[in-house]
Structure 1
Amino acid sequence: MLMRPHISYLLRSMLNGISQVFLQRHLGCGLLVLVAIGLHDLALLAGTVLGLLSGTFTAWRLGYPRDDIETGLYGYNASLLGILITLMLGLAPLACLLTILSGAISTPVQHHLLRRMRERRSLPGFTLPFVLLGWLAMGVCGVLEAVVEARVPEHQLDGWGALGGILKGLGQVLFLPDPLAGLFLLAALLLADRNAAVWTLCGSAVGIFVALLAGASEPSALAGLAGYNPALAALALSQVHRSALAPALGIGLAIIFRLCFDQLGLPPLTMPFILACWAVTLGTRQYQRQGEWQPS
């Protein structure tokens, strides 16, 4: 007979789940991420928690491995969906229902991606369930332009200047165009992994400055919209590669893929980050195969 999940187990799973947005399993990191969201917007915090509960509880009910649930692997996609849907619709009953449904659907999708990665060495899914379901939710709600506009501040410059823009690049991972939120997220990463924090900051900085050099408007660039995908790519690749080359390539590719999505007129969400990591991973595997095939 199935037992109810213990409160402490559920709490650990949820805190790890939100920290997994930044590829960390760290309770303190997760707590600071929630604080960052709550300081910016309590409604977004409520949507985040609802998504976390939906994804985590669904995984428990489906009998997925306990370690995966507690590590937070079924929480981060659902939490991002909760933030996105709340950003679009607020905390209306329809938004809560969509958050619960999308969080629940993301769980078996994530389970399938994890199984393929472990059994067949398929590419990691990262935030792919969030991207696919996020696009679907945005299409159903018909507010694609409204979401984009909501993330761009009215003023061209603020007191934080370039540093504020870089911190906003971290915040935009969670749709938070706020340097204070970015500062809390940086503190969360520093608490969990200093190397990851440095690479994330570098990715955001490069993405924003390249956007400015390429002629992007100051409001768009300094809102962090060009920074969050390179930041995530640098973070993810620095976790699995000792060389600085891989995260550096990831930063460049994430910028290029972001430009492609801009040309298509499709909200990129975190897809440029995913594509950049896939490209570097495939390139690394091909290089390793060629090294194995060389005659001794």
Structure 2
Amino acid sequence: MAAHKNNFLIEALKGTSQVFFMENPITGALFFVAMAYASYASGNWTTTIGAALGVCVATLTARLLDCDEPSVAAGLFGFNGVLVGAALPTFIAAAPQLWAYVIVGAAASTVITAACSATLTAKWGIPGSTGPFVLTGWLMVAGAYSFGGLHVTGDAPKLATDYVQGVVFLPQPMELVQIFFCNIGQVYLLGNEISGAIILLGIFIASVPAGIAAAAGSLVAMAVAIGMGADPAVVSQGLYGFSPVLTALAVGVIFLKPSPRVTLYALLATITTVFVQGALDVIVAPSGIPSFTAPYVLTMYLFIAPKKLMAPHPHQPVEGHMIGHDHPTSAPTRTAA
């Protein structure tokens, strides 16, 4: 137990890397480098600070609740917290109340992660993944409108009808490169192509197949969004690509055993995620909240649910995991009564 308690930094870094399903502290450290670079480029460090605070609070909460030690050690209780910590300062102006908000949100994400484990995963074998982040983020951003001490920032939400349909968008080669990497960076809410490149490097360090899947997901999302005539401004920021990147990883590599059939299945899921992204953006925009990774979560849930009907399907590696991304080393969640 003592050795486990002394690895808090490693657990936090693994939690950071688990956003992309990796269990690698070096990858997690590179993800923080990517966030720091984006903060340096923008001159705003609140996102990086919030992410660090979020993953630490989420991991500490898991310890205090006596959650499953291997799962905590694998970072499976930290990745939703790090996303909550990055998201809230992105959409809410810096203030003393914001940091209290981040702490509560990150701690709540740990409890919701355990709740998803006890329901979705235990009963249906569907991983909770970033679902707890989406639910927490939606409630916290929406709730910020009710409190005078919090100020939701950013431009007023735009509906799809605000975009002039039929405009041809043919990016130049350098723009395509920027979009490709922004698609990956936006998983961490980073609209910076250099940060996206650093994140992709971190994924490749942890897993070459995962890196290939992430790159393929970004390319597919970019092609579909441009081909379907999506808003060029939104496409250029990578906002049509980050959820498909996660879908390509989850369906193509993580939760189903890779094979030619699974590759085609993951391709269908990735394309579907682009359309779900457009739909959910329209649905949530009137509420003044971002869609976050909800398009990925919804698509992944639907495409992973019928895995028992498919072959090959590694029953034990997928169904034996009880929390978060259901990493192969994880064990059933247990929380204090």
TM range (shorter): 0.7 to 0.9
Report the more deviating stretch, 257-266 or 23-32: 257-266
Matches of 1:241 and 1:286, distance apart in 2: 13
Is contact 1:165–1:223 with CA below 8 Å preserved after alignment?
A: yes
Matches of 2:154 and 2:62, distance apart in 1: 33
Q: 1:255 aligns with which of 260, 263, 274?
A: 274
Deviations 1:244-279 (A, max 9, x none): 123212202211211211332443211111111122
Is contact 2:91–2:154 with CA below 8 Å preserved after alignment?
A: no
Which residue does 1:57 correspond to in 2? 60
* 1:164 paired to 2:178: yes
Which residue does 2:222 correspond to in 1? 208
* Deviation of the 1:159 alpha carbon: 8.3
Judging by fraction of residues, say which structure has more helix: 1
Which residue does 2:77 correspond to in 1? 74
* 1:275 paired to 2:298: yes
Deviations 1:149-191 (A, max 9, x none): 8xxxxxx979831011010000000110100000100100110
* 1:88 paired to 2:91: yes
Matches of 2:3 and 2:89, distance apart in 1: 28
SS at match of 2:76: coil
Matches of 2:142 and 2:93, distance apart in 1: 16
Is contact 2:116–2:132 with CA below 8 Å preserved after alignment?
A: no
Aligned pair count? 280
Deviations 1:21-76 (A, max 9, x none): 00110111101001000111132111001001110001000111111111111111
Letter aligned with residue 172 of structure 1: Q
* Deviation of the 1:5 alpha carbon: 6.8
Question: Looking at both structures, which has the greater relative contact order when contacts are Cα pairs under 8 Å and sequence separation is at least 6?
Answer: 2
Is contact 2:93–2:153 with CA below 8 Å preserved after alignment?
A: no
Which residue does 2:328 correspond to in 1? none
4+ residue runs over 3 A deviation: 2-7, 115-119, 142-149, 156-160
User: RMSD between aligned alpha carbons?
Assistant: 2.3
* 1:284 paired to 2:307: yes
TM-score of the pair, normalised by structure 1: 0.87
Which residue does 1:152 correspond to in 2? none
Q: After superposition, where does 1:177-216 map in structure 2 within 5 Å?
A: 177-216=191-230
| Aligned residues with identical type, % of pairs | 26
SS at match of 1:160: helix
Letter aligned with residue 280 of structure 2: F
Q: After superposition, where does 1:6-17 map in structure 2 within 5 Å?
A: 6-7=5-6, 9-17=7-15
Stretches of structure 1 lacking an aligned partner (at least 5 in a row)? 150-155, 289-296
* Deviation of the 1:131 alpha carbon: 0.4
**Structure 1 residues 73 and 50: alpha-carbon distance in aligned structure 2, compared to 1, 3 A threshold:** same
TM-score of the pair, normalised by structure 2: 0.77
Matches of 1:210 and 1:254, distance apart in 2: 10
Is contact 1:157–1:219 with CA below 8 Å preserved after alignment?
A: no
Report the more deviating stretch, 139-148 or 273-282: 139-148
Q: After superposition, where does 1:87-126 map in structure 2 within 5 Å?
A: 87-116=90-119, 119-126=122-129
Deviations 1:176-211 (A, max 9, x none): 010000010010011011111111111112112211
Matches of 2:222 and 2:201, distance apart in 1: 20
Matches of 2:189 and 2:156, distance apart in 1: 10
Is contact 2:80–2:132 with CA below 8 Å preserved after alignment?
A: yes
Report the more deviating stretch, 207-216 or 56-65: 207-216
* 1:221 paired to 2:235: yes
